[in-house]
Amino acid sequence: MLFKFSRKFISSILPANTGVHLSRLLLRHFCSSSINIMEQNIEGFKYTGKDWKVTGQMKAHFDEFGYMIIRGLLTNAETLKLKEFLDKDKGMVDYKMDRDDGEGRAVGITVWNHPSDDILGVVARTERVAGTWEKLLGGEVYHYHSKLIAKDAFTGGAFVWHQDYGYWYNNGCIFPNLGTTWTAIDRADRKNGCLKIIPMSHKIGRIDHIRVGKQAGADTARVEEIEKVCPIIQPELDPGDALFFHCNILHRSDQNNSPNRRWGYLCCYNRANNTPYKENSPHPVYTKLDKLPNSAIMDCDVTDLAANKEVAAKRDYYIATPENSAYLQVPEKME
């Protein structure tokens, strides 16, 4: 099906007087590219424990398609520990921001800048997360921010098509040398609004963004054309699975119309040499990240509720203002 679509699309853009031989060469080139899309590893790579590392195949996949999936990045025990911590963390509720999706609902998001002194900060500083980004982005990284995205059962809103760099650009990051690890706390599937991404869209470059609801969304007309060339995928994640994706990958997620909650823990990173130049950037300038061994997650104590409450109160939360809001930094409509 993809081959036929590519042939039809390329044929439609060729001039009527294009020679037969040249036409076939162009079709062969573009159709081969389309077939390569089908060879991407949608099932994902497997986290194998303490000896796990980013392989050349993983790096090549990320460079080509703009993402990679790591199954079981967190073990069942680590995921349960993180989930139980988040369920009790008062800060996730007190500092939650609701983002209107323009479709009658809102999605909840809690954002904090520096890694906190708890299991959330530990996960963000581990070799398997931060160290992986140093391999994927080709150099030292620092923690740009983390967030919990909460889609509650039956009511969770959607995220519109966007690139993270579509608005991180406005924060003063000159290069698109950033990325996000999206780790499933609950199962994320098509029924409860798992991510949709457009592989290879990171190669297109930054797209203009406008206001959609209370979100910053990519130019819809441009996205519609991109969809015709780059097929959408919708990977489903079990708790503990993670999606690593480039800041220019187009992605969105639908509303949660299911009886199942969908929470995701996101850790975002920036290259050390890409620190924002703007003085009032909403997220941190370069701050050295002290990485931790992967074993630190299970070593982390989450049973001291009083201590956890104190840490939550001190967490460096991002609070949107007219000066730093990603939504307000993009125009209301395309000019």
User: CA-CA distance, 325 to 94, in Å (whole number)?
Assistant: 19
Is 319 domain-assigned?
Answer: no
Which of these, 295, 297, 193, lies nearest to 237 by C-alpha position? 193
pLDDT of 216: 83
Q: Are residues 136 and 252 in the same domain?
A: yes
pLDDT of 38: 38
The alpha carbon of 229 is separated from its chain's Cα centroid by a whole number of angstroms, namely 21
Is 327 domain-assigned?
Answer: no
Beta bridge partners of 243: 69, 182
Pair 92, 110: CB distance under 8 Å: yes
Pair 130, 289: CB distance under 8 Å: yes
Reported as a single tens digit per residue, the pLDDT across 214-237 is 788 888 899 999 999 999 999 999
pLDDT of 24: 40
Reported as a single tens digit per residue, the pLDDT across 125-138 is 999 999 999 999 99
Is 125 domain-assigned?
Answer: yes
pLDDT of 335: 66
Is 331 domain-assigned?
Answer: no
SS3 206: coil
Q: Are residues 7 and 127 in the same domain?
A: no
User: CA-CA distance, 74 to 214, in Å (whole number)?
Assistant: 32
| Averaged pLDDT for residues 306-324 | 87
Q: pLDDT higher for 37 or 124?
A: 124
The alpha carbon of 279 is separated from its chain's Cα centroid by a whole number of angstroms, namely 25
Q: pLDDT higher for 33 or 54?
A: 54
Per the structure, the count of domains in the chain is 2
User: CA-CA distance, 13 to 33, in Å (whole number)?
Assistant: 17
Q: Is the pLDDT of residue 313 over 80?
A: yes
User: CA-CA distance, 284 to 111, in Å (whole number)?
Assistant: 12
Q: Is the pLDDT of residue 116 over 70?
A: yes
Q: Are residues 89 and 132 in the same domain?
A: yes
- Sign of the C-alpha dihedral computed for residues 196, 200, 201 and 202 taken in this order: positive
Beta bridge partners of 180: 245, 268
Domain that holds residue 25: 1-39
Q: Are residues 181 and 277 in the same domain?
A: yes
Q: What is the dihedral of CA 65, 120, 125, 66, to 10 degrees?
A: 10
Q: pLDDT higher for 313 or 241?
A: 241
- Sign of the C-alpha dihedral computed for residues 300, 302, 306 and 310 taken in this order: positive
